[in-house]
Amino acid sequence: MSGTHTQLIDGLNALTAGLVLLSAFGMVTTRQVQGVIRFLVVQSLFVAASAFLIGFDRRSTDLVELGVIMIASKVITIPWVLRRMLPGEVYERREINQAVNIPSSLLLALLLAIAAEFLVGPLVATTSDPVIHVNLPIGMAGLLIGGYTLIARREAIPQLIGLLAMENGAFFAGISIAPDLPLIAELAIAIDVILIAVVVGLLTRNITETIGTSEAAAMSELREEPHSWR
């Protein structure tokens, strides 16, 4: 009885893992600033779902707390803070010139997901815990794809979302490898993530007001020019 029950939970967890990865791909392919934010919210929900599933299966209050913290910070607080802080036109924006076009981006993201599998392969091999086998590679993939979003995007807010997606990847892996992290550490991390969003949002607002665009690529004045020795 408990065997099939756990199997069901593991199956559901694998499903949420797939959805986490899919929402990461969604972030890569979406041009609309608003759409990218939606994908982040969806991804955070799936990360929380995984925490609830495993927490329920193992009777772990720590994981349930982690899920609640996840929803409170990334599904509710951060989108609300960004909405309050940023002028509407930042939201309406569509990214016109991306560094890499969308089909190539998607291909790269796929390659990153495969690379993640290989990167953490030796670590996964040290354990027989099925949750680690699912969550660690997908979490790593989330981290890498988020990092790619951060580098390839030209708009300030999608860059921030890429950063938060990286954090989602770390949390998703954390559900399996650090399920009993002390509550105070989880809370501190969540507050820190919110602060990151606030600070980057504040910067974005100042940049939009001063420079007139939230396109981060427009800022390219500071660079190293060789000194001419006379």
Partner 1 sequence: MALMVAVFLPLLAALLCWLKPLRSIAWGITVFCLAVSFAATVVTAGQVLGRGRVVAIPGWIEVDGLGCLVLLLVTFVCTLAAIYAGGYMRHGSSSKARLWWFYSNYNLLVFALAVVPAIKRTNLVWVGVELVTLFATLLVAYESTAGALEASWKMAILTIMGAPISLFGFLVLYWAFRSAGGGLAETWAGLYAMSSTMPPNLLKFSFLLVFVGFGAKAGLAPMHTWLPDAHSQAPTPVCAVLSGVKTTVPLYVILRFLSIILASPEARLGEWMVVIGLFSVGIAAFLLLQVREYKRMFAFSTVEHMGIILVAAGFATHEAAYGAMAQMLNHAITKSLCFYAAGMVLLALGTRQISEVRGLFRTSPFAGSALLLCSLAIAGAPPFPIFLSEFSILSAGLRAGHPAAVTILAIFIVIAFVAILLQVNGMLFGKPQPSAPAAAIPLSCRTAVVLAAIPVVILGVYIPGPVHSLLTLAAQQLGGR
Residue ranges in contact with partner 1 by CB under 8 A: 120, 122-123, 126-127, 139-140, 143, 146-147, 150, 156, 159, 163, 166-167, 169-170, 173-174, 177-178, 180-182, 184-185, 188-189, 191-192, 195-196, 199-200, 202-203, 206-207, 210-211, 216, 219-222, 224-227
User: What are the two backbone dihedrals, phi and then psi, of residue 224, each rounded to the nearest 5 degrees?
Assistant: -85, 120
The CB-of-153 to partner 1 minimum distance in angstroms stands at 10
* Interatomic CA distance for residues 91 and 33, integer angstroms: 6
The CB-of-80 to partner 1 minimum distance in angstroms stands at 19
> Judged by CB, which is closer to partner 1: 105, or 176?
176
* Amino acid (one-letter) located at 194: I
The CB-of-83 to partner 1 minimum distance in angstroms stands at 20
> Judged by CB, which is closer to partner 1: 64, or 196?
196
Alpha carbon 190 to its chain centroid, in Å, reads 13
For residue 110, the tally of other CB atoms under 10 A from its CB is 15
Q: Is 154 helix (H, G, I), strand (E, B) or coil?
A: coil
For residue 163, the tally of other CB atoms under 10 A from its CB is 18
> Judged by CB, which is closer to partner 1: 107, or 203?
203
> Judged by CB, which is closer to partner 1: 20, or 140?
140
The CB-of-149 to partner 1 minimum distance in angstroms stands at 11
Tokens found for residue 108: 């790269």
> Judged by CB, which is closer to partner 1: 59, or 227?
227
- Burial of 192 (C-beta count, 10 Å sphere; 0-12/13-18/19+): exposed
